[in-house]
Amino acid sequence: MALREWERSFPRPLIDLSRCQLVDPFVLIFLVLYVRRCSEAGGRPRILLPERKDVLQWLVGTGFFEWVKEDVWTDRPIPPSLPTEEEAPFSGIVRVEDEEGIQGLVDDVCDRLAERFPLGEHSIGVLASAMLELCQNIPHHANPLDEDIDPYGLAAVQEYSDHIHLVVMDKGVGLQKSLSLNPRYRGLDDPEVLEAVLLRGASRFTDPGRGGALRRIREVVLANDGRLFVRSGQAGFWQAEVEMNIGEVHPFPGVQVSIQLPRALFG
């Protein structure tokens, strides 16, 4: 709903966070992406900062305002970041550009988790595997024809009391355009594309060994009682426990993925 509102005055929307009770990593990374998109279109969004001090402090602590820098107006000065009692539960916002840097950034995130959850090797492996595949999808698929766009890939991991939340997103060409490079999948709409990719392992490559990573991630998340959300174009895919659904969302470029794994899995 918020995106629909913002889009009416794109690229100079009013982003009202004043009554936010929580900003999760999906919203956080999406905001960075959205501000970037506004900035590229010559706009500068106005942000009403959260009234709740803890929410604002969390937002400041994530480094969000360093990412959006001069690209936004805020209704009041941004407070300085204060040290928190939490032991680094947020990975920081990470830029995903070239394939070369991906292994290092996944190791950084997972090594920190391994220190905190020494018995969580299996679950950290699940998270690492998903992160490796999702992150490399950005250099491989977000701009496959090398168009004049910046996919601006981003990732983050947040630890909550009951789950670990991984977010990887970009504002590239999206699944529909990428998949249409394979003649077999040309002409599918966004919901059909999500179904083909997530349930049937469709890929833009005709090589049988390529693609299928999102389907595999869906299966692994399901097997580990996790939750998955994938958004691309005008469609969103939800999976929680055995329930899944594909529905319409407000159009947005690129692919945005959210994975939540139960913290109990990590020991």
Partner 1 sequence: MADRLVRLAQFGKRLGTRGEGKKAQELLWQELRSLPEGQVLVVDLSGLEVLSGSFADEAIVSVVERLRGGNLPGRYLLVQAPHEELLEDLSERLARRGLALFALVGDGWRILGRLSGYLEETLHWIVQRGEATSPELAQALSISVKNASTRLTELQKLRLVELVPESRPVGGIQYRARAIISSKEKG
Binding site for partner 1 (CB under 8 A): 99-100, 102-103, 106-107, 110, 121-122, 124-125, 128-129, 131-133, 136, 140, 208-210, 212-213, 216
Q: How far is the CB of 176 from partner 1 (least distance, A)?
A: 22
Looking at the Cβ atoms of 137 and 258, the one nearer to partner 1 is 137
Q: How far is the CB of 210 from partner 1 (least distance, A)?
A: 7
Looking at the Cβ atoms of 105 and 246, the one nearer to partner 1 is 105
Q: Phi and psi for 122 in degrees, rounded to 5? A: -60, -50
Looking at the Cβ atoms of 12 and 215, the one nearer to partner 1 is 215
CA distance 249 to 229: 12
CA distance 21 to 54: 9
Q: How far is the CB of 258 from partner 1 (least distance, A)?
A: 19
Q: How far is the CB of 255 from partner 1 (least distance, A)?
A: 16
Instruction: State the Cα angle at 207 between 203 and 208, rounded to 5°.
Output: 75
Q: How far is the CB of 50 from partner 1 (least distance, A)?
A: 35
Q: Which residue has the tokens 């803890």?
A: 54
**Residue among 175, 177, 168 at smallest CA distance from 147:** 177
DSSP 8-state class, residue 56: H
Could you list the beta-strand ranges (E) of 139-213: 153-159, 163-169
CA distance 192 to 232: 11
Q: How far is the CB of 39 from partner 1 (least distance, A)?
A: 30
CA distance 31 to 179: 26
Looking at the Cβ atoms of 131 and 179, the one nearer to partner 1 is 131
CA distance 240 to 224: 11
Q: Phi and psi for 190 in degrees, rounded to 5? A: -60, -45
**How many CB atoms lie under 10 A from the CB of residue 82?**
9
Report the DSSP pairing between strands 243-262 and 227-240: antiparallel
Looking at the Cβ atoms of 216 and 263, the one nearer to partner 1 is 216
Looking at the Cβ atoms of 28 and 128, the one nearer to partner 1 is 128
Looking at the Cβ atoms of 53 and 122, the one nearer to partner 1 is 122
Q: How far is the CB of 135 from partner 1 (least distance, A)?
A: 8
Report the DSSP pairing between strands 163-169 and 243-262: antiparallel
